[in-house]
Structure 1
């Protein structure tokens, strides 16, 4: 699994840690809930259609300026290449699928998006939350978005192996199964382009650095751009 290989490659470059310490390091991401969200968006044009991004710290440009994150870079590309579209980033560092599910109705009403990008679940996995709970929350977000007339791009995530094979594999399958069931656009793993490159991450070995963000933008763009046609 790419994510597993990436995790252990990171550890070889860091100070020696035990497997338990590895798990603790991952749990630190949960405490990023104290960091406020970066609401990056393009200026709305008259009658512009909206791309709404519902994500966690990976989409909220954690540790960077908002303008450096992949969502803001996507907004710049949209502004230049997709007239009539804008991007609203409603991502919050530390957000769980429960948080996203509780906010989605309000965001849909407020922004009336034509496309919803859902990048949530990592914090569920880090906390070891029940897979069915994560699945139900993501499914609620998908259903409400589609009921509001929006196309959905579901962005998947993978977990390190410390919670066991069954949980790790079940977590990964959740995204693909939901996408297939509800016929959404799908990106299996947000961090795939940089997962094996320790130098692409900040000192916490969790969050991508600024120079890695264009790779994430380009990776997401492959799945997002067809929804804008």
Structure 2
């Protein structure tokens, strides 16, 4: 809040009477407990963060790393803020590496898991976009994802799989094989799924940076809003104390 500076009141009498008369009205017009939202409507009171810390690993490529953005505007950072605003004691670790393919992700997966003090409550897996850009076959991409999901399942780590969608210019056969892959893998390995996690923004060029690949800060906000419910649903309840 900004501190207000008040000038000295030179004339008291009538001014004091007027202020006294306005007192009740000022109390009636007092801001609600949660303050005022950006659109001028009453904001909901903040929900206190409660319960044990829930560690979430956001494992992906530049779309998680926050390419071209302030680190505070990355998807994992904004997701953590959104979860905590809803009272979830979340610690979202940004394990996004720009340029990573599924093969590169597979190479660093176990190191990432072993670097944690305890298994994460949820592992968000977002890879495949760079495979598309490099023309990696859907069979190779699928194989790498299968190996990652196998490791995570063996370690009993819950997974939310962030699906991608191939563009039509790759050809109908490639597109069909690639697009079906995420749903099939989620069903096979018991992972939660967002079929195409850029669904809410991909039709709006204004929500992407000039490269037309990476979301702007506003685009990230939209993605967090559209996927928050899926993340909450995929996050298992905390263990009973």
TM-score (normalised: structure 1) = 0.76
* Match 1:93 to one of 85, 92, 98: 98
Contact 2:82/2:228 (<8 A) preserved: no
Contact 1:126/1:159 (<8 A) preserved: no
C-alpha distance in 1, partners of 2:158/2:52?
Answer: 18
Contact 1:51/1:87 (<8 A) preserved: yes
C-alpha distance in 1, partners of 2:211/2:88?
Answer: 38
C-alpha distance in 2, partners of 1:206/1:69?
Answer: 14
* Match 1:78 to one of 73, 76, 83: 83
Higher mean displacement: 211-220 or 119-128: 211-220
Count the aligned residue pairs: 185
Contact 1:57/1:94 (<8 A) preserved: yes
Alignment correspondent of 1:56: 61
Alignment correspondent of 1:154: 161
Contact 2:83/2:228 (<8 A) preserved: no
How far residue 74 of structure 1 moved from its aligned partner, in angstroms, is 0.5
How far residue 47 of structure 1 moved from its aligned partner, in angstroms, is 6.2
Task: Provide Cα deviations, 1:30-79, integer angstroms capped at 9, x if missing partner.
Answer: xxxxxxxxxxxxxxx99633111111111111110111122210011233
* Match 1:143 to one of 105, 129, 150: 150
C-alpha distance in 1, partners of 2:81/2:65?
Answer: 15
* Match 2:132 to one of 125, 131, 138: 125
Alignment correspondent of 1:166: 173
Q: CA 1:147/1:82 → structure 2, altered by over 3 Å: closer, same or farther?
A: farther
Structure whose CA Rg is larger: 2
C-alpha distance in 2, partners of 1:77/1:221?
Answer: 8
CA RMSD between the two structures: 1.8
What are the residue-to-residue correspondences of 1:101-112 with 2, within 5 Å? 101-111=106-116, 112=119
How far residue 143 of structure 1 moved from its aligned partner, in angstroms, is 1.6
Higher mean displacement: 213-222 or 174-183: 213-222
Alignment correspondent of 2:19: none
C-alpha distance in 1, partners of 2:165/2:234?
Answer: 24
Runs of 4+ aligned structure 1 residues displaced above 6 Å come to none
Where 1:157 maps in the other structure, the secondary structure is coil
How far residue 83 of structure 1 moved from its aligned partner, in angstroms, is 4.2
Question: Which runs of no fewer than 5 residues in structure 2 stay unpaired?
Answer: 1-49
Task: Provide Cα deviations, 1:193-212, integer angstroms capped at 9, x if missing partner.
Answer: 01111111111111111111
Contact 1:139/1:178 (<8 A) preserved: yes
